[in-house]
Amino acid sequence: MGYVAVKGGTIAIDESIKRLKYKRLKNGKILNINGIQAGMRGLIDQIISESSLYSEELAAIAIKQAEGNSEEAVFLLRAYRSTLPRKHYTRIAESSHMFIERRISASFKDIPGGQILGATYDYTHRLLDFQLVDESEDEALNWLKKFKSDVAHLNNQEDLRNLPKVLDYLREEGLIKTYENDDKCPIDTTKKSVEFPTERSERLQILTRGQTGAVISLGYAALRGYGSLHPTVGELRVGSLPLYISNPLEDHCEEEDDFYIGEIIVTEVEMFIPKNVQEKKGKQKLEFGIGYGICYGQNETKAMAMGILDQCLETKDEKYITQNEEFVLLHIDSVESSGFMSHLKLPHYVTFQSKLDSIRKTKKGEDVKNEL
């Protein structure tokens, strides 16, 4: 009779997975994917932004599977994203042609095209609505019917696809520096690992994929004193952007021959941040720097924090930790931070034994020394 290995590990894992499923099903109720897609817009937008995979349906499946745990849901989507072949890059999307749903500026009382409040929690009172407990589908459909008929009677003159950028207005006045277009090909950090010092395209990509809480925390720290910035929201837009691709086999493809592949909802923020610029002869000039933030879905706080951090990482003042690109960029990814954190739960007894041996060895040396 030979010796065989004890297969405890496999059985333990199988049971653990069963127990996890039990937790999701124990109340005898399951969530409907359509229901999640319809009613969990906020969580879906957060997830698609952090996983950088734009699909509300896939996000809804991930949310169901993860029981609403955003760390797990983002993990699921990112892993799924890894299996998808990346075939094309889109044409540059011009956000000035965004089909606006919401558009505000804190820098001016009024702006060409107007302050369009759109759908936002900003003006709601955060009072828990207990009527939602008994909300019925009929009630919902009735409300919807009435809303649609009210809206149909409105006569809106505004061309929501061509609202001018507040930034352009300031540029025309000469209050904001104009730059040469930098048409350098952006680096895709999901295909090539980041190298320091980074290009701006890498920073923006890492920020937009960042864990919402982490990005907001660091933006907050920058505002509070660890960043020396005093930003104002120049413009915040939420709306849909159409996306186009050109023929991949042709070297030169005219835009009119492009293929339209769909549209995405994005939140775009341009922050105006006054900064001191050194001129010749020791003089200093006050200028507006622009902090840019953009996210999939409606993620306003994150986009604003991203704009703040964008400007921080352009300024690179060594005094402030929020302006240190390695510190900011290497610690805001949800999958990486939670993965490494949770790896501490893995067995470490060999490394621990090794350290124990070191400590015992040096202690022996100490004892010998003390005896002498």
Per CB under 8 A, 69 contacts other proteins: no
CA triple 88-241-250, angle to 5 deg: 30
Per CB under 8 A, 330 contacts other proteins: yes
How near is the Cβ of 352 to other proteins at its closest, in Å?
8
Among 200-208, 267-275, 314-322, 357-365, the segment contacting other proteins (CB under 8 A): 357-365
Per CB under 8 A, 10 contacts other proteins: yes
**Residue among 339, 222, 202, 322 nearest 273 (CA):** 222
How near is the Cβ of 325 to other proteins at its closest, in Å?
9
Q: Binder to other proteins among 27, 82, 155, 276 (CB under 8 A)? A: 82
By rule CB under 8 A, what count of residues binds other proteins?
A: 59
Per CB under 8 A, 191 contacts other proteins: yes
Per CB under 8 A, 67 contacts other proteins: no
177 SS3 class: coil
Per CB under 8 A, 21 contacts other proteins: no
User: Closest CB to other proteins among 26 and 319?
Assistant: 319
Per CB under 8 A, 7 contacts other proteins: yes
User: Closest CB to other proteins among 82 and 131?
Assistant: 82
Over the range 53-80, which residues count as b (16 or more CB within 10 Å of their CB) and which as e? Answer: bbbbebbbbbbbebeeebbebbbbbbee
Per CB under 8 A, 120 contacts other proteins: no
Per CB under 8 A, 86 contacts other proteins: yes
Can you tell me the distance from the alpha carbon of 291 to that of 306, in angstroms, rounded to the nearest whole number? 8
Q: Which residues pair with 290 in a beta bridge?
A: 272
Q: Which residues pair with 269 in a beta bridge?
A: 236, 293
Q: How many CB atoms lie within 10 A of CB 7?
A: 8
Q: Binder to other proteins among 41, 54, 55, 81 (CB under 8 A)? A: 81
How near is the Cβ of 277 to other proteins at its closest, in Å?
25
Per CB under 8 A, 370 contacts other proteins: no
CA triple 67-69-71, angle to 5 deg: 145
CA triple 161-290-50, angle to 5 deg: 70
How near is the Cβ of 301 to other proteins at its closest, in Å?
25
- Report CA torsion sign: 115, 116, 121, 123: positive
Per CB under 8 A, 225 contacts other proteins: no
DSSP secondary structure string for all residues of 270-296: EEEEEEEEE-GGG-EEEEEEEEEEEEE
User: Closest CB to other proteins among 122 and 357?
Assistant: 357
How near is the Cβ of 169 to other proteins at its closest, in Å?
39
Per CB under 8 A, 361 contacts other proteins: yes
Per CB under 8 A, 362 contacts other proteins: yes
How near is the Cβ of 53 to other proteins at its closest, in Å?
10
Dihedrals phi, psi of 112, to nearest 5 degrees: -55, 125
Per CB under 8 A, 96 contacts other proteins: no
Among 18-26, 151-159, 296-304, 335-343, the segment contacting other proteins (CB under 8 A): 335-343
- Alpha-carbon Rg of the chain, whole angstroms? 26
Site string for other proteins, 162-181 (x = CB under 8 A): --------------------
Can you tell me the distance from the alpha carbon of 241 to that of 261, in angstroms, rounded to the nearest whole number? 11
**Residue among 30, 65, 63 nearest 48 (CA):** 63
- Are residues 236 and 266 in contact, defined by beta-carbon separation less than 8 angstroms? no
- Are residues 29 and 64 in contact, defined by beta-carbon separation less than 8 angstroms? no
Residues that bind other proteins (CB under 8 A): 2-10, 12-13, 75, 78-79, 81-86, 190-197, 248-249, 326, 330, 335-336, 338-343, 346-359, 361-362, 365-366, 369
